Structure formats: structure tokens, C-alpha cells
Amino acid sequence: EKGDDAGAVAAFEAAAATVTGAGNPEIAKKLRALKKKSKPVPFHFPKAKPPPPAKAGTAGATGAERGPKGDKAWLDAIRAPSLPIAKRVAAANAVGGWLAAHLERALKRTPGDSEWFFEDPEVRAFLDQGVFEALLDSVTHTVATIVTAEANAKSGADPNATDFARAGADLAGALAGVLHNLLHPSLRAWGTRKQHQALLGAFQQVLRMRGSPLNDAKGTAVRVDDETKQFTALCAKMLNNQGALSVLTGHDCLARARLQLLRALTQRERASTTKKNKEGEKEDIANRVEESARALVMLRRCRFATRVGTDVSTDDDDAPPKPAWEPILDALLTDAGADEVRDEVRVTIEQHALLAGAFPKFGFEGSVGI
């Protein structure tokens, strides 16, 4: 039994045997790393230590040990610009209370050794309903309106602009605080689930291969050549492995990709204000920004492939998603589909750059661990 991760090794060996892959040092590097870490066991989440059995008649016996359930009404309120700021802040605080209850339970466990934050069924369910996206959309929109309000206050164009900016700052601060806490489980377990991190890194490199439509600018027609065929074959070989697909589309890897993106964006901002930069440092950071954003977009699309479109709020929110890669890869290989993904990658980078910049402004230094 070679284990499910043998599929990734075989895929990289196939890529290295091609004319394009033979000259790609990243493929050789990832292949060596995968072979080194490959173990003769199936690729899966580490077995969690089961919680102690609940006694009959106790809260645990009724399922209360799962923690509180998230309310989609909070997300609707957070996203509603027509609601008074106070009500939106209250909704953000409600999400913060839900999160605090789950974090309190998760922090008592050892990362990587026991059931992890993202394996909690209520956490998974609320993430599938779009809690992170609702918070992110709202905080970035609010930050943009604050900038406009401050400009209007400075020019005297709106006499109420200062009050509006102050109220907006209250909302943005509350949202940033919840997002800061929501990133904490990934930071805490940064050094665990190393096989998962290696698989995510391998997928990021595949998306950078020559032949990937994401390497080209919007409006570029998808080529039908050997390089594109090699890219397609390698993507299919990785994602057709059910163990790898399950891991890559799990909230564990999605959160890692998002955190990697925020870390790279934070480093990009710091590098832009530093005169002394090592040769190639800015290029390396730019590559990591692009890699993380591409992986986040593609894997989210795969996770929610069976729902209407890719909006996590457009279908039955109580039904768990059924990840699929075929429709996502098929769409990427069309001109319109490639442009749609390119646009989403660009927007994802812009949104997360605003969030990375907002954290220190609202007193959350070190939210991404650097």
C-alpha cells in the first residue's frame, strides 16, 4: 500500500519526464520533498483523539459538546449596508461570541494531535455558509467608505462625513477583530499537518506550470498545445485522487492558503517601504502572493462546485458541499472561464491586501504571525 499521496508523487514524476517539466527546478524540488515525506499509509487527516463519552442525561449526550451553531442572519446583517451601523456591529459581535465559544474549546486541545478547529462540524457548517467571506466583504467595503468619508470631511463636501467615518471605524474594527480571531487556529497549528501543507504547496506549483491559463493576462485565449495538455493532465491526476481532493478542499487547506496570502501581502507591503531588499526578494514575494491567491480561488471553487455558481450562499446552506474538480477544470480551459478565474484571483488579492493593511490600523498587529 503506497498510500494516496503516491498519486501526487506519480503526477510529479510524469511532469518531470516531459520536455517542459525536465527543465523546471520547482517540479524537481517538490518531487524530492514528496518522496522524502511519503509514508506507507493512506493520506488522511490524523486520527483525532475522541472526546470522552458523555454520560446519559448530560448536555454532552444531547450534542451540546459540538458548540453553538452559527446563525446566517448575522451574516445577512453584517452585509446589509442599509442597516444602522449599531446593528451591524451587534451582528459582528454575535459572530465573535460564536467564535469565542469554539476557540475556547479548541485551545484546550493539542494542535495536530486532537480534533482540530476546522474539524468541528458547527465550524465547518458556518464556514460553508460564508462567514469568512461575509466578514471580508464587509470590512473591505467599510474601509473603502471610511477613506471616502475622510476625504469628504477634509474637503468639506459633507458636514456629516466625520461622524460617518467614526461610525464606520467602529464597524471595521469589530469585523477586523473577528477576522483576527478566525485566523488564529491556522496560526496556532502552522507547524502541524505538514503532509497537508506539502500537498497544498505542490498544487500551487502545478497552477504555475507553463500551460496554465492563469499565467496569462485577462483576454488571452486559452491555448491548445502540449504545455496546456501537460498542465491539464497533472491537475487531473492530483485532484482525481479522492484523498488529495478531500484534503485540498477542506477548510484546513483553504485557511492555510488564505493565511499564506495574507502573510505574503504583509511582507510585500513591508518590502515596498524598505530601501534595502535582497536580490529577487520582491519577485519571490510577488510569486507567493499569486500562488496563494490562485490556490485559494481554485480550491474554493472545487469545494463548492456542486452548488449554484460559486457563491456559497446561493444554495441550501444546511447541505454539506460535495467537492468536485472536473467542472472547475473544464471551465478554466475555456476563454470565458479562464477570464472569470483570472478576475477572481485579482479581486481576491485586492481584498486581502485591504484586510492585511487594516489589521495594524485597528490595533491587531501580528494577525498573520509576522
For 300-316, the pLDDT digits (tens) are 999 999 874 444 444 45
Tell me the residue length of the chain: 370
Cα torsion angle, 111, 114, 116, 117, sign: negative
How far is residue 178's CA from residue 95's CA, in Å, rounded to a whole number? 7
pLDDT of 159 reads: 86
How far is residue 307's CA from residue 318's CA, in Å, rounded to a whole number? 12
How far is residue 288's CA from residue 265's CA, in Å, rounded to a whole number? 9
In 3D, which of 55, 87, 291, 255 has the Cα closest to residue 171?
A: 87
How far is residue 252's CA from residue 250's CA, in Å, rounded to a whole number? 5
How far is residue 321's CA from residue 319's CA, in Å, rounded to a whole number? 6
pLDDT of 313 reads: 46
- Neighbouring-strand partners of residue 49: 114
pLDDT of 201 reads: 94
C-alpha cell at 137: 466583504
- Neighbouring-strand partners of residue 258: none
pLDDT of 47 reads: 39
pLDDT of 84 reads: 94
- Neighbouring-strand partners of residue 114: 49
Number of other residues whose CB lies within 10 A of the CB of residue 225: 10
In 3D, which of 177, 187, 188, 185 has the Cα closest to residue 359?
A: 177
Ranges assigned E (strand) in the chain:
none
Number of other residues whose CB lies within 10 A of the CB of residue 79: 18
- Based on its alpha-carbon atoms, the radius of gyration of the chain, rounded to whole angstroms, reads 22
Angle at 197 between CA 244 and CA 312, to 5 degrees: 65
In 3D, which of 95, 96, 104 has the Cα closest to residue 129?
A: 95
pLDDT of 122 reads: 94
- Ranges of the chain whose pLDDT falls below 70: 1-24, 27-28, 30-65, 111-115, 277, 279, 308-318
pLDDT of 50 reads: 44
